[in-house]
Chains A and B, each alone.
Chain A
Amino acid sequence: MRRSLLTVKRGFRVRGALTVALVLATVLAGVGLAACGGGATDGTQATGGAGGVLRLASWMTLTTWDPRASAADEPLYLSNVYEPLLYTNPPGSAEPFTPCLATSWEVSKDGLTWTFHLRQGVKFHDGTPFNAAAVKYSLEATKELDLGAAYMWYPVTKIAAPDDYTVKITTEYAAPLDRCASAMYGAWMFSPKTKGKSQKWWDAPNEAGTGPYTLVSYKPNEELVFERNPDYWGGWKAGQFDQVVVKQVAEAATQRQMLEAGEVDFADGLSRDSVPALENNPAVKIDKTKSIQNELLMFNTQHKPLDNVKVRQALSYALPYEDILQAAANGYGEVSQGPLPRDLYPHDANMGQYTYDITKAKQLLSEAGYPDGGFKLLMTYASDDAYGSKFAPLVKEAFAKVGVTVDLQPLLFEQQWAKAKGPAKDRQDLFELVWWPGFPDGYDTLYSLFHTEADPSNPVWNMCYWSNKDYDTAIDTAFSDEPTDPAKAQELYNQAQQMLYEQALAGYLFDADMVYGLNPALKLEPTALNVNYSGVFYWYRVSE
């Protein structure tokens, strides 16, 4: 008789448990494979999938749903749910603006009173009619909250609604309110029924726009679903989409796979170096549009020897602009002419431009007293933006050729920015910045980046730490002149830009193109992608 001398007391039935686990695993594997047989990917090229659904893959996330406070990547979504009074057209268009919720507008001779005539027969998604009271409410609420782009409305002193479809806005000093009212931040019209609602309510999310699409569901970091607003004032034609589904996909490689497999009709996060291969793929159409986004390398004018203008000019001649464009954006863009992108009003097409010229660089350096360079510069760049890490080594290499040593420091953008705003002795010498204005007017760029700071000990964006009263006066006057004397405004802006060129405050590196991957069967209207609204894809202007 065999006795088990060796049983472990109180042991559990390992064998039993193991068997169960193995069986379960086999079953699951079998289930998985069976499901695979049912067709894993939707490889069809049919547009929009089932029944008019437009599918997007986007890396853009929302910080807030509050139309008053939006200031980051929300426009892709908000621009399809909300509408402004008007849109700014790309430069070279027959008309400078396209009416939207306002059908026409004019400004008084002194530039201090703007009158907007509103579109009739428009309703908000919650049923409230759109009228002058709604415009007054929207603008006042935005200005009161004072977040995001609310600063555009600082000049406004009074908003009156003499009748249901007329709005009169009075300002303290003349300002181009038509441009402000066309911005993709802080210029949305939203329903007066939202009066008193907190930001928490908006972020629930809730929306109250007039636009062609309404929000159905929002899963943060995952997906958003929108559906068409059947009562939209613009009406609907055959071929337009019933539903829009946006998958939030942060990885460029994943977006590419989804686009190539026909899983999505639009991808905005493709990496530039994958584009040549995609251009050869007949299943994908690549759309390149100009944008109002550009790349700058700001010089710290408070650190020696960058306080010497000749040194800055020398370094401006030492930058290999074409190579930087190629490395950073695979050539998708254009070398900048000055701090404003070419397609952004009021860019001066005749202003001076630095080119890559090592001889001139060395000459200027010796004139400044640094014949062999011999100084060190700290360059910080954002490791989380698309371009910095790609061209930073080129700057180091290029400056080494004139004897200047560059220390590279990659930081997350928020950290890079915090460092630039920190104690003066710890600040960087070279600040890499990707920039775009908050409203379609280069004044925002010229002001934010180069105007004397309101509180110089607490800089916000002026990472050159530069201050020049003549420059300040020039651009502030120009801004005020825009509505009343546009020719003079342009002249003053030209003077200001020329100053920025002569002072060589930054390396004006390149104007970036926006590159999108599209389903070739989509039909886009010319303004579905508008340079002044970089990053926005207007779903209403797309059909299959």
Chain B
Amino acid sequence: MSVRTYLVRRLALLVVVLVGITLLTFLLVRVVPSDPAAIYAGPRARAAQIEQARHILGLDRPLYEQYGIYVRDLVQGDWGTSLRTRRPVLGDILHFLPYSLQLIFFSLLISVTLGITLGALTAHMKGGWIDHVMRIFAIGGVSMPAFFLAIVLQIIFFRWLGLLPVSGELDIAVAQAHPVTQITGMTAVDALVTGNFVAFFNAMEHLILPALTLAAFSTGVITRMTRSAMLESMGADYIRMAKAMGVPTRVIVLRYALKNALAPVLTIIGLEFAYMLVGTFFVERIFALPGLGTYATTSMLSLDYPAIMGITILLALIYVAVNLVVDLVIAKLDPRVVLS
């Protein structure tokens, strides 16, 4: 079918997914014991104040009515007001999202380049010592919990070697002396674009350890995936033909085998993006970074249900969008794939 029909179908599916997710989250949040009215009224509230809060929040209405109101507001762009920060949830999310995206892109860059390179290398040198060593690294990256790796990196690079900062997006002194003008909300990008090189270098410094932590798992996965996809494509008949015809190995590997191996790897990259979205929860908290992850963990721990629902919907949206893009890219790249 044509790309347009495919897109329309996928978007229709997106709506179904969103309805399912909002309903599920809405019900889960209601089922979990918590008293949002008490959270809203504050810890020192007396009974009457809590009742008043319950009414303000519309919690005294029947469940289906609450859901209806919620969906209606959502569609009009009102994602609710955070119980904790008292600001619109959508505004909060859009404020914090760019920083997380910056971190994810950087991590993705690291894991994709490292992963594909290592995967191709180890496939090519299958059985050699490089292959074995890299396998250990890959499995290590996949197995090590993000929060543990974060602390280990902090100790090594901050405590022992004094090379990299421990937390935050900028040094306090740098932020005071060279303030960054907000354009996109991505600190490093904004600094670079406005010519604020001191802040740019400082922001990059602060991004390295978090990006490494976040990239560890994905690098491992992409390496393994690329390796097995490469081995499979290297074993194909046409590759053997090319070898027999004397085509140089470099050309075989890079121009033919790798390109054909990329389809499953691209799918994985889409999934890794989604993984990293959630990975930021741990990483940002440990490195005290001002991104969506910190906002999400704080909201979850304080049972701020409007914010929790907002984040869930956002993540669902991003996940579906990324997978759609990946599917379209693969369809464009690989003529064997037919959209259906």
- Chain A interface (Cβ within 8 Å of chain B)? 2, 5-12, 14-15, 18, 21-22, 24-25, 28, 31-32, 34-36, 38, 40-43, 49-50, 53, 55, 61-64, 69, 71-72, 146-149, 151, 185, 199-200, 203, 219-223, 243, 245, 247-251, 253-254, 257-258, 261, 263-264, 384, 411-412, 414-415, 417-419, 421-422, 438, 453-455, 458, 460
Contacts and interface: CB of A to CB of B under 8 A. Distances in A.
B179 to A, nearest CB: 9
Interface residues of B, number: 83
B278 interface: no
27 contacts: A8-B260, A18-B116, A22-B113, A22-B117, A31-B204, A40-B162, A42-B173, A50-B176, A62-B85, A147-B41, A149-B44, A185-B44, A199-B86, A245-B176, A249-B167, A254-B167, A254-B287, A257-B154, A261-B166, A415-B303, A417-B35, A417-B38, A419-B33, A422-B33, A454-B46, A454-B48, A458-B51
Interface stretch (B137-145, B251-259, B317-325): B251-259
A213 B88 CA distance: 28
Contacts of B44: 71, 148-149, 151, 185, 438
Interface string B36-76: 00110111111111111000000000000000000000000
Given A36-B164, A147-B42, A412-B303, A249 B254 contact: no
A185 B177 CA distance: 35
Contacts of A454: 46-48
B290 A219 contact: yes
A471 to B, nearest CB: 19
Contacts of A247: 168, 172, 288
B6 interface: no
B92 interface: yes
Nearest to B238: A6
A313 to B, nearest CB: 30
Given A43-B162, A415-B33, A251 B172 contact: no
Contacts of A254: 154, 166-167, 286-288
Nearest to B51: A458
A261 B158 contact: yes
B202 A21 contact: no
Contacts of B33: 411, 415, 418-419, 422
B208 interface: yes
B46 A151 contact: yes
A414 B302 CA distance: 7
A40 B174 CA distance: 11
B31 to A, nearest CB: 11
B302 A40 contact: no
Interface stretch (B13-21, B123-131, B216-224, B293-301): B293-301
A14 B168 CA distance: 36
B43 to A, nearest CB: 6
Contacts of B335: 8-10
Contact of A40 (B51, B164, B247): B164
Nearest to B106: A28
A384 B300 CA distance: 11
A221 B294 contact: yes
Contacts of B288: 247-251, 254
Contacts of A419: 33
A147 B44 CA distance: 8
Given A220-B92, A247-B288, A25 B35 contact: no
B259 A40 contact: no
A8 B256 CA distance: 7
A35 B113 contact: no
Contacts, number: 214
A31 to B, nearest CB: 6
B227 interface: no
Nearest to A23: B113
A222 B260 CA distance: 45
Nearest to A150: B49
Interface in B157-210: 158-159, 162-169, 171-173, 175-177, 201-202, 204-205, 208
A220 B287 CA distance: 16
Nearest to B169: A222
B134 interface: no
B167 A50 contact: no
B242 interface: yes
A6 B241 contact: yes
Interface string B300-340: 01110000000000000000000000000000110100000
A263 B262 CA distance: 45
Contacts of A221: 96, 290, 294-295, 298
Nearest to B109: A25
Contact of B39 (A6, A11, A414): A414
Contacts of B242: 6
A72 B43 contact: yes
B32 interface: yes
B6 to A, nearest CB: 18
A124 B7 CA distance: 59
A63 B42 contact: yes
A222 B32 contact: no
A123 B302 CA distance: 37
B84 interface: yes
B214 to A, nearest CB: 15
A15 B48 contact: no
Given A8-B260, A418-B33, A203 B158 contact: no
Given A12-B333, A25-B110, A146-B49, A36 B39 contact: no
A35 B204 contact: yes
A8 to B, nearest CB: 6
B28 to A, nearest CB: 13
B155 to A, nearest CB: 9
B254 A15 contact: yes
Contact of A251 (B47, B245, B286): B286
A270 B211 CA distance: 26
B254 A147 contact: no
B40 to A, nearest CB: 9
A49 B172 contact: yes
Interface string B102-116: 000000011011101
Contact of A6 (B86, B166, B254, B256): B256
Contacts of B166: 41, 254, 257-258, 261, 263
Contact of A245 (B172, B245, B301): B172
Contacts of A411: 33
Contacts of B205: 32, 35-36, 40
B259 A14 contact: yes
Contacts of A453: 47
B125 to A, nearest CB: 17
Contacts of A38: 201
Contacts of A64: 86
Nearest to A62: B85
A258 B167 CA distance: 8
B201 A35 contact: yes
A478 B52 CA distance: 30
Contacts of B176: 49-50, 53, 243, 245
B151 interface: yes
Given A14-B258, A34-B201, 6 more contacts: A14-B254, A15-B258, A21-B113, A71-B45, A147-B45, A219-B290
Contacts of A223: 175, 290
A415 B42 contact: no
Pick the most buried of A12, A38, A41: most chain B CB atoms within 10 A of its CB: A41
